[in-house]
Chains A and B, each alone.
Chain A
Amino acid sequence: DAGITQSPRYKITETGRQVTLMCHQTWSHSYMFWYRQDLGHGLRLIYYSAAADITDKGEVPDGYVVSRSKTENFPLTLESATRSQTSVYFCASSDGGDRSSDTQYFGPGTRLTVL
């Protein structure tokens, strides 16, 4: 199906391990985003990307790494997972910068638990 997908949907890992969360969109949107959702905080921006090979930090980037070699993929890597990174992670994409196309569309999320 067309749209934005995330994998895995659920992941349990241990402190110190590397974990990669995948995000794929079929719309050829230029912009892609990673958010984390935590109780009491709403959603907070981790990283974003304006195009392939262009990424930048958001509000809470520490402990995360992103890459974007292809327009449709935007993986998020936790290089050494910590318990504080237990969260639900959402990927989003949007088409453009002007007001008619700046709506962000969200994937179904990945629930990550770090033991």
Chain B
Amino acid sequence: GNSVTQMEGPVTLSEEAFLTINCTYTATGYPSLFWYVQYPGEGLQLLLKATKADDKGSNKGFEATYRKETTSFHLEKGSVQVSDSAVYFCALKSPGGGADGLTFGKGTHLIIQP
């Protein structure tokens, strides 16, 4: 079956540091890949998405590239801010159809210190 593996953290960085959160997956075929962000007390918000190999998703300074050869979708940001403190979830969706649920990683808790 499908699975997603990501570092759980907490990951603590100083403001303006470079961020990488690793995400690797196991799936058949070519899934769609997602990063969601959850701020304290809120639901999940879509951060970025990629649907095919070598696609790069980007939003709010965050980027992730769909690497089929390494089955990875690592999240990066060049200079983090305190407001980026949140839990980040990597997820995949099988290509089979709209009714397929997302398979999530366990989430990475990111803490940015001023």
B114 within 8 A of A: no
Q: Which residue of B has the minimal Cβ distance to A44?
A: B104
Question: How many angstroms from the CA of A44 to the CA of B106 in the assembled complex?
Answer: 10
B45 near A106 with CB under 8 A, answer yes
Q: Are B104 and A102 in contact (CB under 8 A)?
A: no
> Looking at the complex, which of B9-17, B74-82, B91-99 is the stretch in contact with chain A?
B91-99
Residue contact A43 to B32, C-beta cutoff 8 Å: no
On chain A, the number of residues with a Cβ less than 8 Å from chain B's Cβ atoms is: 34
For residue A108, CB closer than 8 A to chain B, the reply is yes
Q: A42-B89, A42-B105 are in contact. Are A106 and B98 (CB under 8 A)?
A: no
Q: Is the CB of A31 within 8 A of B98?
A: yes
B residues 45-72 near A (Cβ < 8 Å) are 45-46, 49, 51-52
Cβ contacts under 8 Å, A92 to chain B: 44, 102
A42 near B98: Cβ-Cβ < 8 Å? no
CB distance from B54 to the nearest CB of A (A): 14
Could you tell me if A108 and B43 are in contact, using CB atoms closer than 8 angstroms? yes
Q: Does A74 contact B (CB under 8 A)?
A: no
Whether B101 lies near A42 (C-beta < 8 A) is no
B105 close to A103 (CB less than 8 A): no
Instruction: Please list 23 pairs of residues, one from A and one from B, whose beta carbons are closer than 8 Å in the complex, sorted by A's number.
Output: A31-B98, A33-B102, A35-B102, A42-B104, A43-B44, A43-B102, A44-B104, A45-B101, A48-B99, A48-B100, A48-B101, A58-B101, A95-B98, A98-B98, A99-B32, A99-B51, A100-B51, A101-B98, A103-B34, A103-B49, A104-B93, A108-B42, A109-B42
- Report the 4 A-B pairs with minimum CB-CB distance, sorted nearest first: A97-B98, A45-B101, A99-B51, A42-B104
